[in-house]
Structure 1
C-alpha cells in the first residue's frame, strides 16, 4: 500500500479511435464487443479481468468463474451521443450504463481508452457498474445505499499500470466538482435514508462523493479498523440504520469532523497490487464475420431492450442484412431476436431454426425460439402439449450450458403459466437460477414470492431485502418494501401470498427499465 496525492482533477476527454473491424474478446467474466483493433480489445478485456481479480482479493472472495451466459457483455458503442440515444429519455448526463439480467447482463460504454495517465471516465463508469454487479453477486444480504455506492466509487477509481499492476482506492477524481460545488450531504444523512430524503432538495448533491469519502476513510483508517464490518453485521441482523451506525462508529458528529478533515488532506492511502498478484485469466479474440459486423449496431439496440414499436422500426434493416447474409448464423440469431421483439413468433422461430441449423452453439437462438414458443403456448388449445414443445429449445440450451439460468426460470414458468402448482424440481430450478444470477431483481422477486408461498418467511425476506433497499429500483423496489414489511408479522411456516398480484406482475414487467443503473 502506498500514499497517493489527493490533488483532485477532472479529466473527461475522450479520444475517438479510427474505424476498425468489429472484434469480440471473451474471458472468464467478460465478453467485449468493439469496433476496434484486436490488440486494443484484448488489452481491455485483460484489464477488466485484473480488476475482477483485485476485487476478489480485497473482498477476500474466491475468484469463481460464472456460467458463460452470466458473464457481463460489454458493447463499446463509439460515442457519448450514441450512449445517450441508447439510454433514452433524461439521459443528458449518462456516460455509460449497465442492465443486470439473468443470462443477459449488458453494459454499454462509449469507447475504449486505456492509454492515459488516469483512467478514462467512460471506463470508470463501467468499473463502477461492474463493482455493483460483483458486490451484489458476492453479498448474501442487502447493503445500505451509501455503502453500495461508496464501495462502487472506491473500486471504480482504479488506475491501471503499464506493467499489469493495479491501484485500487485512488481518489475519486470524477467526483471532484461534486464535492467542491454540489449541495453537501452529512454523515447522518448518508446513514439515515429517511433523513436524507427529508433534506434532499432539487439541486444535485454530493451523495456519491460523500459516500466514497466515508467508505474510503473507514476502509483505511487504522483506529476504526473493523467498524465498517461491524456496521454491516448490525444491518444484516436487522438493526435500524442509525442504531447500527452508532453501535459501530460511536459519536456521529465526531465521525463527521474526521471525514471532513480527511477530504481536505493532501495525501491518501491507496492499495497498489502488483501484476503477479492479479491473474488475468485467458482472453480470446476473434474478428466478427462481415455480416455480424454489419448487423452489430442494430443488435446493440435490440440487446439494450426495445418495445414493439422500436422493434418494428429496426426490423426492415435487419431483414435486409439477413437477406444479404443468409448463411450467417450470427445475423440470423439477431433476426430471430428482432422478429420476436416485433411480435412475429413464427418468423422468430424460423430464423432461430435457420441459425441453429448452421451453428447449433448459438445460445441466443435457443432463447429466442423458446420465448416465441412460450408466447404462442399461452393461447394454445392444448396447453400441456404447447408448453412441452416450448420447453424443448430451453432443454437443448440446458444440455449445452447446464448452469444457464433462463432454462431453469422457464421450467418453473411452464407450470405457473398453465395454472399448475410447480413441482419440487421446478421450485429448486427457480432458486438455482437466482443463485446463478443474484443480480436479476425480477428473478429475485419471483423466487422470494415462491419461498413466501411455501412458508419460508425468513428466507423470503432475506431474498427480497436487496430489492427493497435498492434506491434505483423504482416500482419494483416500492413493491418489495411493502412485501418485506408485510411479511414481518407472518409466523414462520405460514404460507403467504401478496394480495395485490396484479401490482406484483406490473412491477416485475417494469423491472427491465427500472433496473438500469446509469452514471449520475
Structure 2
C-alpha cells in the first residue's frame, strides 16, 4: 500500500537515490512510544516533530475515536530538513511525502522544510505534510471495518492535517489552514466549478492525463474536492453518521450507487448542490476541542534521542526506500542504489535486500 502527497507542480520522473549524500549526512534518531524518527534536522526540531507525532496520534485515536490496531513494530518516519536534502531519497519533485505499508513494515518519508509545531498556533507546510502522511497510517490502521476509497483517504488526510493548537484549543478544518479557501480562491469562485460528487466518489486514480498542465490542475481539483467533501461530512453529526454508514456499506460489497442511496437518501445532484453551497458560503465550520483540565490532556512525552552512525543510518534509510519500491524507485535504479550502498557499508547485503523486497 503506497500513498504519495503531491505538490502542485508539473509531473516529473523520479531522481536517482543519492546514496553518497545519505551516507555523508548527519542523522538523528528519536524513538518514542509509537515512532522511530530519523531526521537530519537539528536536535530541537527533531524532538518537536517527534512530540507532534505522538500528540497527533493520541488526539486522532483517543479523542476522535479512530481506534488503532496493535503494531508489529514502530512506524519509521524519515524526515528531510529542506527541499534540497529531500531529493536525496530519489523522490519526484512533485512529491512532498510518501506513506507505505509493505508486509506490516510502515514507512513515512516527508519533507519537513518550513516546519513549525502545532503549539505555534499557525499553519505550517512542513507540519501539514508530515501529518497528512501520518493520517494515512492512522486511518488505515483503524479497527473500524470501513472501506477506504481514494477520495476519503486523501480528503481525510488533508482534513486531519489542518490540526493546530491555538488559544488553549485544538482546531480542525480552519479555512486559513489550506489554500483551498484563500481570499483569492474565494473571490474567483471558480475552484469548485467542476465539482461533481458522483465523479468524485467513483474516482479510483488521481489523474488520467499525461499533459503536465492538465495533470497538475486535476490533482489540485481532486485534493480540493476530497478535502471539501470530508470537511462537509465532518461538519455535522448527522452527516458524520451517514458517511460512516456509506463506508461500511462499501466495505460490505455494495456498489457506489447503492451505498450512496442507502446512506445519504438523496441524489448526486442534490448532494453536489449542497456541497457547493457549503464550500462557497459561510457554513463551513472548524471543529474545536478544549485543551487541558476538563479537555484534551496528552500523556507525558517519553523519548530516547541519539546520533546515528553513518553506516546505521544508511542501512535503515536504504532498506526503507527499497521496501517502498515502485513507483518510488525503478527496479533498475533500485539495483544501482543497493550496489552503491554495499560499497559504502560492507555489512549491507545486496542479495538479501533484493530477495526480501521483490
* Aligned residue number for residue 55 of structure 1: 60
Corresponding residue SS for 1:108: strand
Q: Is 1:93 the equivalent of 2:94?
A: yes
Q: How do 1:312-323 and structure 2 match up within 5 A?
A: 312-319=339-346
Label 1:317 to 1:161 Cα distance change in 2 as closer, same or farther (>3 A). Answer: farther
* SS of aligned partner of 2:29: strand
What does residue 247 of structure 1 align with? 262
Alignment check: 8 A CA contact 1:87 1:94 kept: no
Q: Partner of 1:170 in structure 2?
A: 174
How far the C-alpha of 1:60 sits from its partner, in A, is: 1.9
Aligned partners of 1:227 and 1:241: how far apart in 2? 14
Residue 86 of structure 2 corresponds to 83
SS for the counterpart of 2:109 is: strand
Q: Secondary structure at the match of 1:119?
A: coil
* Match of residue 155, structure 1, among 146, 156, 160: 160
Q: For residues 205 and 47 of structure 2, what CA distance do their matches in structure 1 show?
A: 46
* 2:149–2:204 contact (8 Å) kept in structure 1: no
Residue in 2 that maps onto 1:74: 77
Q: Does 1:145 align with 2:150?
A: yes
2:287 to 267, 271, 274: 271
Give me the whole-angstrom Cα distance separating, in 2, the residues matched to 1:47 and 1:314.
Answer: 32
Contact 1:33-1:74 at 8 Å conserved across structures: yes
3-state SS of the aligned residue for 1:96?
strand
Report the counterpart of residue 246 of structure 2 in structure 1.
231
Residue from 299, 306, 312 that aligns with 1:287: 306
What's the counterpart of residue 133 of structure 1?
137
Question: 2:151·2:203 contact (CA, 8 Å) conserved in 1?
Answer: no
What runs of 5+ residues in structure 2 fail to find an aligned partner? 1-6, 8-24, 323-332
Conserved in 2, the CA contact under 8 Å of 1:175 and 1:208? no
Superposition deviation, residue 47 in structure 1: 1.4
- Label 1:241 to 1:232 Cα distance change in 2 as closer, same or farther (>3 A): same
Distance verdict in 2 for CA 1:248–1:176, change over 3 Å: same
Structure-2 residue corresponding to 1:189? 199
CA distance in 1 between counterparts of 2:78 and 2:205 reads: 38
Give the Å deviation of 1:161. 3.9
> Of 116, 122, 132, which residue of structure 2 is paired with 1:114?
116
Distance 1:29 1:234 in 2: 31
> How far does residue 64 in structure 1 lie from its aligned partner after superposition?
6.3
Contact 1:231 1:244 in 2 (8 A): yes
Name 1:260's counterpart in structure 2: 276
Q: Is the 8 A contact 1:78 1:111 kept in 2?
A: yes
**Deviation beyond 6 Å, 4+ runs, structure 1:** 194-201
In 2 relative to 1, CA 261–135 (structure 1 residues): closer, same or farther, beyond 3 Å?
A: same
Residue 280 of structure 1 and its aligned partner are, at CA, apart by 3.7
Whole-angstrom distance in 2 between the partners of 1:48 and 1:314: 30
**1:386-465 mapped onto 2 (5 Å cutoff):** none
Larger fraction in helix: 1
Distance change (3 Å), C-alpha of 1:239 and 1:103? closer
Q: Structure 2 vs 1, CA of residues 153 and 278 (structure 1 numbering), >3 Å: closer, same or farther? A: farther
Task: Summarize the Cα distance change of 1:318–1:166 in structure 2 as closer, same or farther, 3 Å threshold.
Answer: farther
How has the CA–CA distance of structure 1 residues 107 and 233 changed in structure 2, closer, same or farther, with 3 Å as cutoff?
Answer: closer
* TM-score scaled by length of structure 1: 0.51
Cα deviation, 1:55-110, whole Å, max 9, x if unaligned, reads: 1135424466634x2x221122232233244244xx22111212223353221222
Q: Is the 8 A contact 1:87 1:97 kept in 2?
A: no
CA RMSD of aligned residues (A): 3.6
SS state of the match for residue 106, structure 1? Answer: strand
Contact 1:184 1:207 (8 Å CA) reproduced: no
TM-score, scaled relative to structure 2 = 0.72
Partner secondary structure for residue 153 of structure 2: helix
Q: Residue 39 of structure 1: CA displacement?
A: 3.2
Structure 2: distance between partners of 1:58 and 1:185: 32
Cα distance change on mapping 1:259 and 1:77 into 2, 3 Å: same
Residues in 2 aligned to 1:57 and 1:51: alpha-carbon distance in whole angstroms: 10
**Distance across 2 between alignment mates of 1:271 and 1:130:** 20
Q: State the distance in 2 between where 1:194 and 1:297 align.
A: 35
Distance 1:225 1:45, change over 3 A: closer
Residues in 2 aligned to 1:42 and 1:318: alpha-carbon distance in whole angstroms: 28
Structure with higher strand content: 2
Q: Within 2, Cα distance between the matches of 1:26 and 1:199? A: 42
How far apart are the structure 1 equivalents of 2:316 and 2:237? 50
User: Aligned equivalents of 1:243 and 1:263: distance in 2?
Assistant: 26
Report the counterpart of residue 321 of structure 2 in structure 1. Answer: 304
Distance in 2 of aligned mates of 1:122 and 1:211: 21
SS in 2 for 1:28: coil
